[in-house]
Structure 1
Amino acid sequence: MTSTGAVLAGLRAAMAELATPVRVYVAAGRFTEPDPDLPELAARIGLLLADMAADEAWRRFAPEYVPPSVPELCAALEPLETHEAAPFLARLATVDLYWPTHRHLPAEPAARAADRAVSLLGPDGSWWTNHDEAGGAVNGVSPFLDSVVAGTDGEHFVVALQVAPD
């Protein structure tokens, strides 16, 4: 059995490997609320959106941006099957939303880091994205092109966000 400290350290390390300056933002942590669920995960997404918006690279384009409320974020999220989470997370860290031929990170290291994050949250982890795969749409959560994937095991969470100019 893995200790919560080791899981948290592993999640933070894996997610840090998926981050890139100005385009791919990540977060990993442990919930402090009792019995966290989707609203608590959405709140963490909101915090990451606020971090992105505070980055000078994006603040100048949307100085008045305030992340959506927790209910709005919950409404923008769609469930993602656990077996789809690692490939989706790796793709978010590698393939540019605006220029799909541009790569932010090499695919193999990103896939390994994504696999580790998903593995640490376990097979019963729940995963969410702002992509509506059935409708082929993205429920934007920022004033830019964006892609979010977030997961939790009910104790820990990870969030990845890629933004691109539109």
Structure 2
Amino acid sequence: MTSEESRLAELRGWLGELSTPSRVFVAAGRFTEPDPDLPELAARVRDLLARTATDEAWRRFLPGYVPPPVPRLCAALEPLEAAEAVPFLTTLATVDLLWPSHRHRPAEAAARAADRVVTLLGPSGSWWTNHDAACGAVNGLTPLFDSLLAGTDGRHYALALQIADD
């Protein structure tokens, strides 16, 4: 296994520590396009949204759902300061969107995994979310409640999405 393959396997492994069945979905990979930017990252977000919609637990809530086109996803994503990526990812994997007292993952374990994911993408990694921190709004990506964090180092990407329905 090359160091590149090893790094990607580690990224996927740590993201897997943040996922939960039918609630927190994750994806990681390496871009195949030269010089990927936000549209390429949004395309990977779109793939994750499509995969989530086919999950057995969510199909009935998302009949006929088609993820937004890439330009609309780009417009929904807000930059997140790198220093906020670990706490945001920890919260996304830990705290339920509808029932904040319910925990999906133990906070300590989630923080450790989130820190490793962010570290693997490095200090120059860029982070995006569907939350607008300035006003507290969420740019919904699905007809459900959702929270997304997407990161990239320009070569690899890491995605985490929590969905909920009332």
Shared topology, TM-score over 0.5? Answer: yes
Aligned to 2:90: 90
* Residues 50-91 of structure 1: CA deviation (Å, up to 9, x unaligned): 011001211111211000000010000000011110110010
| Number of residue-to-residue matches in the alignment | 165
TM-score (norm 2): 0.97
1:58-69 matches, cutoff 5 A: 58-69=58-69
Deviations 1:117-155 (A, max 9, x none): 000000000000000000111000001000000000000
Superposed CA RMSD:
1.0
Say yes or no: does 1:44 pair with 2:40.
no
Equivalent position of 1:28 in the other structure? 28
Q: Tell me which amino acid in the other structure corresponds to 2:49.
A: L
| 1:2-151 alignment, distance < 5 Å | 3-151=3-151
For residue 105 of structure 1, report the CA deviation from its aligned partner.
0.4
2:110 counterpart letter in structure 1: A
Q: Residue 124 of structure 2 aligns to a residue in which SS? A: coil
Please list every run of at least 4 consecutive aligned residues from structure 1 whose deviation after the TM superposition is greater than 3 angstroms: none
Q: Which amino acid aligns with 2:38?
A: L
| Aligned mates of 2:3, 2:36 — CA distance in 1 | 19
Report the Cα distance in structure 2 between the residues aligned to 1:44 and 1:132, rounded to whole angstroms.
20
Inter-partner Cα distance in structure 2 for 1:63 and 1:136: 29
Structure 1 stretches lacking a partner, 5+ long: none
Shift of 1:10: 1.2
TM-score, normalised to structure 1, is 0.97
The aligned amino acid for 1:104 is H
